Structure 1
Amino acid sequence: MAIDRRDFVTRASALAAMGMVSAPVLAAAEAGGDPIADWIVVNALGGLGDPNSPPDGTRSAISQRVLADAHASGVTAINITLGYVAGPEEPFEDTVRDIATTDRMIRDNPRDLIKILSAADIRRAKAEKKVGLLYGFQNCAMLGKDATRVDVFADLGVRVFQLTYNPANLLGDGSMAPENRGLTPFGREVIARLNDRRVMVDLSHSGERTCLDAARASRTPISINHTGCRALTDLPRNKTDAELRLVAERGGFVGIYFMPFLNQSGHATAEDVVAHIDHALNLRGEDHVGIGTDGTVTQIDDLKVYEAKLAKEIADRRAAGISATGERPDTYPFVVDLRGPDQFRKLARLLEAKGYSPRRVEKILGLNFLRYAETIWGG
């Protein structure tokens, strides 16, 4: 069921009274002056959860605040991470279970959520004023040594396969693997299978050689859905100009994240996000760059309370061998002045203030990803 502007304003007013939607979002809704209201906005890597609540181990439930924040943000579709990334769980079983619980969450919230299987579904999400969830992986460990499992997961609705996380796996080296050995023969086999199934090959988190090898091996354009530019901030999680150029030259997509790796100090700002977007555009033009925030829409309410949780999370990631250079207990995994339901509007205004035309900003916020999705999945 579509939510019209009057209904949205009513809901936003009630949530604002409870401190759950910010004043700028409410003001924009009331004035009818929302700069992104008519745009398709795609977060090429993000989340749909409440960072203020401890995880309950399942995606089958979602709070009304999270749903309201997602609607208020103007986001059309989000690539959410499903399944195994790291840890003691059995990767295949953990991933199948996560897909099933996410399917149930969507079934339980049909007015608000839609599963994205095609580029047409992104347009449908916009038309029906729903939030589209695009199923993606941030590690292909769940494939084991069997490339035919690509078919299993593609049939379950997974549309983005990120080859590696930070360490090496059976497909190639991640960004923190010191050898930088590149794509393995199994990685090449998997890419061929992904191409056959017309799903996205994502090289976020990969080492440089793995990314370059994959871009050349793939018969279809690849993506780097959440990254920064190493020319501006020399950290392993950011991509070199050679990687960014090759992906764009072959028709791919690059999403800039809202992460601490955008500034050498670890304290990235909205200004850094704009600078990295600008650098990526200047390399290969405006048709291949978008956003992949790597964060949620709902923001953390009490940063001081969160800092204690963050310290433990960083320690656990280091102990597990999955952390990246630039992660520290004093670096938030988000941009403090570019978060919450206002984040996409604020970014749009910052880019326009830099001289970007509204059409160029619209491409960055969603149309470039949609074009790329049409290339890979069809209409």
Structure 2
Amino acid sequence: MIFDAHCDVLYRLQNEDGRQFEDEHSLHVTYSQLKKAGSRVQGFAIFLSPLLPPSERFRAALEQVNIFYEKIIKPHADIKLVTSKKELLRLNKNEIGAMLTLEGCEAIEEDPLKLNILYQLGVRSVGLTWNRANALADGVMEPRGAGLTAFGKKIVKKLNEWRMWTDVSHLSERAFWDVIERADYPIASHSNCYRLCPHARNLTDEQIKALISKGGVIGLTFVPFFVKKAGSVSPSDVLKHVEHLCELGGEYHLGFGSDFDGIDETIPGLNSYRNYEQWGELLSKHYSAKQTARFLFYNFANRFPN
């Protein structure tokens, strides 16, 4: 069983004419791949192009929600929307849970009602920013590096009330610490270890330890340049991030958020969802069956919101 916390297939289905969720050869995540590789829960991110003008953002987010229901949920009787741990536990053996997530709050601008609407539509994990600044916080690529705004603090409080995940991936370091101070349910859906690959999108040892202390989960990602700074990248390099997280006390706080369909470059051997089978086999050569199952599924599933 696999719980992958982050993919961007909704964005591709929205912006690439003719793409279908069954399109095996052009997408990293497809229906057949999820079935064959043993998916149990897949996080489907709502991600907006940073080039969209503000007046078009919320509508674009709603379009992706519509794609989620019309192209992923409705045509496939064995893919079920999951909005709570109770619904996750009710999944039958051959069913896949589909979770809506929000990658950056650019869609809501400064209107909490829009977030309320997305919550009612099924969103259960919220990343406050993408890479730049918005009304809530600065992202990792914003030179200013500021923390949460007053509105951002208000939204984190609302996420706590709704028992939703607050996703720290993409936040500036100062905003990260603001979230850790306030969020009841923080996670990093798709980030790696800065100690092994010093990229701004990765987490320092101190950040990782803080997430662990708050009961969060870090979803290691398969983005090549988040895995290794230079040179060829292999699944064994991702394994080093697993090892490092475990060394920091993360055995029960480690999962995966592939970022499939959100990346142009992939790691040979981790090119698409179908490779999760081989990835699980590699993990099982280095860790026990129980540890491997925790990494692939239970660490995220046990902390599912609501």
Would you say same fold, with TM above 0.5? yes
Counterpart AA for 1:151: N
* Residue of structure 2 aligned with 1:135, choices 92, 96, 100: 100
Q: Deviation at 1:73?
A: 1.1
Unaligned runs of 5+ in 1: 1-39, 297-312, 314-326
SS at match of 1:160: strand
Q: Structure 1 residues 69, 285: closer, same or farther in 2, change over 3 A?
A: closer
For 1:266 and 1:163, the matched residues in 2 are separated by: 32
**Which residue of structure 2 lines up, in the alignment, with residue 343 of structure 1?**
275
Q: Structure 1 residues 272, 193: closer, same or farther in 2, change over 3 A?
A: same
For 2:10 and 2:165, the matched residues in 1 are separated by: 24
Counterpart AA for 1:252: G
Q: Is structure 2 residue 2 aligned with structure 1 residue 41?
A: yes
For 1:163 and 1:130, the matched residues in 2 are separated by: 30
Q: Structure 1 residues 287, 161: closer, same or farther in 2, change over 3 A?
A: same
- 1:252-277, Cα deviation, whole Å (9 max, x unpaired): 11100001221011642101111111
Where do 1:71-86 residues align within 5 Å? 71-86=35-50
For 1:101 and 1:50, the matched residues in 2 are separated by: 9
* Contact map agreement 1:45 1:295 (CA 8 A) in 2: yes
Q: How many residues align?
A: 298
Counterpart AA for 1:270: P
Q: Is structure 2 residue 156 aligned with structure 1 residue 225?
A: no
**Which residue of structure 2 lines up, in the alignment, with residue 352 of structure 1?**
284
- 1:265-321, Cα deviation, whole Å (9 max, x unpaired): 16421011111111112112311110101115xxxxxxxxxxxxxxxx9xxxxxxxx
- 1:14-71, Cα deviation, whole Å (9 max, x unpaired): xxxxxxxxxxxxxxxxxxxxxxxxxx3100112458989x82288xx53264322220
**Which residue of structure 2 lines up, in the alignment, with residue 236 of structure 1?**
200
* Residue of structure 2 aligned with 1:87, choices 32, 40, 51: 51
For 2:23 and 2:152, the matched residues in 1 are separated by: 41
- Provide TM-score, normalisation by structure 1: 0.73
For 1:153 and 1:251, the matched residues in 2 are separated by: 25
* Residue of structure 2 aligned with 1:105, choices 54, 66, 71: 71
* Residue of structure 2 aligned with 1:245, choices 185, 200, 209: 209
Q: Which runs of 4+ in 1 moved over 4 A?
A: 47-52
Counterpart AA for 2:250: G
The percent of aligned pairs where both chains have the same amino acid is 25
- Provide TM-score, normalisation by structure 2: 0.89
SS at match of 2:277: helix
- 1:227-262, Cα deviation, whole Å (9 max, x unpaired): 110011111011111111111101111100001221
Unaligned runs of 5+ in 2: 25-29
Q: Deviation at 1:101?
A: 2.7
For 1:57 and 1:194, the matched residues in 2 are separated by: 36
For 2:67 and 2:10, the matched residues in 1 are separated by: 14
Counterpart AA for 1:100: N
- 1:140-160, Cα deviation, whole Å (9 max, x unpaired): 011111223322111111111
- 1:195-218, Cα deviation, whole Å (9 max, x unpaired): 111211101111111111101111
Once structures 1 and 2 are overlaid, which stretch shifts more, 235-244 or 146-155?
Answer: 146-155
Q: Is structure 2 residue 286 aligned with structure 1 residue 365?
A: no
For 2:199 and 2:156, the matched residues in 1 are separated by: 26
For 1:51 and 1:86, the matched residues in 2 are separated by: 15
Q: Deviation at 1:192?
A: 0.6
CA RMSD after TM alignment? 2.5
Counterpart AA for 2:173: E
Q: Deviation at 1:166?
A: 0.8
SS at match of 1:186: helix
**Which residue of structure 1 lines up, in the alignment, with residue 27 of structure 2?**
none
* Residue of structure 1 aligned with 2:222, choices 246, 258, 268: 258
SS at match of 1:79: strand
For 1:189 and 1:288, the matched residues in 2 are separated by: 27
For 1:203 and 1:336, the matched residues in 2 are separated by: 27
Q: Structure 1 residues 56, 128: closer, same or farther in 2, change over 3 A?
A: farther
For 1:168 and 1:266, the matched residues in 2 are separated by: 31
Once structures 1 and 2 are overlaid, which stretch shifts more, 340-349 or 264-273?
Answer: 340-349
* Contact map agreement 2:10 2:44 (CA 8 A) in 1: no
**Which residue of structure 1 lines up, in the alignment, with residue 88 of structure 2?**
122
Where do 1:279-294 residues align within 5 Å? 279-294=244-259
* Contact map agreement 1:148 1:193 (CA 8 A) in 2: no
Larger Rg: 1
